Amino acid sequence: MENPGYPGARLAFQAFGAKIFAAGVDNEGVILNQLPVQAVRLIYVTPGHQFPLGTTMSLSRRLRLLEWARKAGAVIFEDDYDSEYRYSGRPIPALRLGYMVVPPGLMDYFEAILSLTIRHAPLLEQLVLTDFMTEGHFGRHLRRMREVYAERLSVLLEEARQRLAGLLEISNVEAGLQTAGWLCGGINAESAAAAAAERNVDVTSMSRFSRGRVVPEGLQLGFAAVETKEIRRGVRELAIALEDERSSSKS
């Protein structure tokens, strides 16, 4: 798994007894040479919009990942959870989309599971979804929401430049519904998140997504579900909270 990475997936794998190997993430995606090739049987990645850092896996890293998986005999579990919301260029296609490529040795297991969980294909839902997509409703919805979310991201970045300079450096992501910010001046992320919550601002410490101390002190900030007026208020309040935290750390 990527480190930092999505904790929900880690908990699910651990519930089934998996032994988790953590690999760091750079500006091109998961760092493959940190994984023990002989021991890994499945790799979980978020290449379209890495959770929680927000980076997009480069084409060269994607090709290396595919080659690495072939050599290791490992399955790639790609969580392509929000790549439709891309604000620069076209959405990047998933390594696989809408179906599973199951190794021959696992076919019997998957057939048994499907026979218990999906007795019949959901034909009615499939027909409705087909009409929804072929008539253009889904495409229009995505285009409209991309515009809305792009505006909110732009407001967040502009407000951050004006109010958070020297306190929090925010990454300019190309896709997704949240971004990362890196704290300056020795501010502790957990304390900063608690101070922000007292001012009715919801941010999350990056340590919540990491195994060990693998990233600088930082915060995850969501923007997609927040109106622009509220984003401006939130940045103002966050700036006050971080100023107070920086002053406290120096005293």
β-pairing, 42-45 vs 75-78, is parallel
| pLDDT score of 48 more than 80 | yes
Helix (H, G, I), strand (E, B) or coil at 221: strand
Q: Is 86 exposed, middle or buried (0-12, 13-18, 19+ CB in 10 A)?
A: buried
Instruction: Identify the top-confidence range among 40-44, 121-125, 171-175.
Output: 40-44
- pLDDT at res. 98: 54
Q: Can you tell me the mean pLDDT for 147-164?
A: 95
Instruction: Enter the pTM of the model.
Output: 0.77
Question: Which pairs count as long-range contacts for 225-228, CB under 8 Å and 24+ apart, including other chains?
Answer: 225/177, 226/152, 227/152, 228/151, 228/152, 228/155
Determine if residue 118 is left, alpha or beta; phi over 0 gives left, psi from -120 to 50 gives alpha, anything else beta: beta
Q: Can you tell me the mean pLDDT for 154-159?
A: 95
- pLDDT at res. 155: 96
Could you write out the DSSP letters of every residue in 166-207? Answer: TTEEE---SBSSEEEEEE-TT--HHHHHHHHHHTT---EEGG
* Domains of the chain listed by start with CATH number: 2-119 (3.40.640.10), 139-250 (3.90.1150.10)
Question: Which two tokens mark 178?
Answer: 């949240």
pLDDT in tens, 104-153: 888 898 888 777 777 676 778 888 888 998 999 989 999 999 999 999 99
Q: Can you tell me the mean pLDDT for 214-236?
A: 92
Give the C-alpha separation, 109 to 249, whole Å.
55
pLDDT in tens, 66-104: 999 998 889 899 998 887 888 777 766 666 445 677 888
